[in-house]
Chain A
Amino acid sequence: MALNPALLVFLYALATALATGLGAIPFIFVSRLSGAVVAYASAIASGLMLGASFGLVAEGTAYGGWQTIIGGGVGVGFILLTQQILQRYDVHFGVARGVGARKILLMLVVMTAHSFSEGVAVGVAFGGGMVLATAITVAIAVHNVPEGLAISAVLRSRGESVAVCAAWSVVSSLPQPVMAVPAFLFVDAFRVALPYGVGFAAGAMVFMVLVELLPEAFEEARRPIVALLVSATLVGMVLFQQSL
């Protein structure tokens, strides 16, 4: 008996979400947690997120330029609002408190929110037919690994365990299977929404990089090293995404 295609889409998207956890693996080898390590981790996360956003904007503008821009504006507003809300509470996250905990929470909110629009992209891609299912799944799973890397960089450098990094990386991607199914079932409706969602994801990630990750990186480490890490990671990420 063949599986229901919608269930199949859910399972494929779930598999890609699990791949995000693989991004935590390199951090098994990172144990020394100095201010410089936090800065380098932020720099790498910045490069990955900027590169990912460049890819998203290129994809979004192919569906609709203005819609992508509007989505991006909403993404920026979303971060500003989340920052305001987080500032009102005395947050703590695992071993982190205060500013560090706020940064971790903001990172998780951003990456989880951006997964919603990625889920839509997955569903719309499957909507083109199940023939390419395996290829799409593998491509998106591989694409998720650097996102787990970015999340783990922020969490691990503030003292969270590798298991916690992996778990939160997977959680941040769970909206993907959730959104993929309705997007698959109602492809036409979601295809219209796609540029807004993709713009939102890109706007939120770029703004997060500019307002939180980079200033922190420049405070804690030497400028040329931070700049080199961001630049090389950005170019590498764009190339990596194009090769998928």
Chain B
Amino acid sequence: MVFSTVMDLQSIDTNAFAPVLTVLGYAAIAAGFASFGVLPLIGRRQGSSVLLGLANSLAAGLMLGAAYALMVVDPDGLPPVSAIAAMLGIMYVLFTHWAIGTTELDLNRLDETDPTYGYKVLLINTLHGAAEGVAIGVAMIVSIPFGTFVVVAIAVHNIPEGTVLSAILASLGARIRDAAALAIAANIGQVLLAVATFAIVSAAPEVLPWAAGFAIGALIYLVMAELLPEGYREVGHTSVALVAIVAMGMVVVLTGLSL
């Protein structure tokens, strides 16, 4: 059974550094993808909100698909503690929005020059990046191919985040190069949490249902509270739905292949 390798956590050698370095490398690549967000800004002064909307829809489908995969990965079903942890994941994203004051804020404004807006976007991206890092770490525990796929999903999501952040910085007079560097730096928490989650769960497998549940809740809530509503605002309902569902279909195929 394909799942036997998944749940056989004892087989992970906790003394080997190689897997941790793999996770570090992959998570760093995902963070690096944020720098591609500056590409639409080169040449034109402003990015395209239609592109942002499509990128958000793609990320929404991939992340919802990743949450699906994490929910069905264990043939015995989602343990009840994972449901509690999922609520914690939802609450984490909900609370960070509330604390920073971004609950109803459009996080995808490309023409906003207010520095306060920039700080809020930077802060919320950094804090949510941490939850996405947990998702990467958990997925890497499940299997390296599945983890790679979640890295791709998060990397895709990091690109439009990078675009918005660098658009704000560019409007404040920053050079594109510096904007790209800061877009990557905003995801350092993501890399750290990916590595920490992987290391902790490797050492203490009983934490896995908690970490997985947290990642599931945070991913779903991020999709519902940020990616989809912003996608609907930027492009038509049908475009959002088509892009997202094709992305989910891809996840289902890749999950079948990678688990």
Contacts and interface: CB of A to CB of B under 8 A. Distances in A.
Question: Do the two chains bind?
Answer: yes
B214 to A, nearest CB: 12
A208 B183 CA distance: 35
Given A61-B256, A227-B221, A230-B224, A242 B77 contact: yes
Nearest to B98: A224
Interface in B97-122: 97-98, 103-104
A91 interface: no
A73 interface: yes
Contacts, number: 99
Nearest to A43: B224
A234 B68 CA distance: 10
B68 A57 contact: yes
A221 B94 CA distance: 16
A44 interface: no
A235 B94 contact: no
A235 B79 CA distance: 12
A238 B217 CA distance: 12
Contact of B245 (A58, A210, A239): A210
Contacts of A223: 103-104, 225, 229
B78 interface: yes
A30 interface: no
A206 interface: yes
Contacts of B244: 210
A215 B237 contact: yes
B73 to A, nearest CB: 10
> How many interface residues does chain B have, given as a range?
35 or more
A57 B64 CA distance: 13
A54 B68 contact: yes
Nearest to A206: B245
A37 interface: no
A222 interface: yes
B59 interface: no
A40 interface: no
A72 interface: yes
A211 B224 contact: no
B103 A224 contact: yes
A65 interface: yes
A121 interface: no
Contacts of A232: 87, 90
Interface string B57-71: 000000010001001
10 contacts: A66-B253, A69-B252, A76-B245, A210-B241, A211-B241, A218-B232, A223-B103, A231-B90, A235-B86, A238-B78
Interface of B: 64, 68, 71-72, 77-78, 80, 83, 86-87, 90, 94, 97-98, 103-104, 216-217, 220-221, 224-225, 228-229, 232, 237-238, 240-242, 244-245, 248-249, 252-253, 256
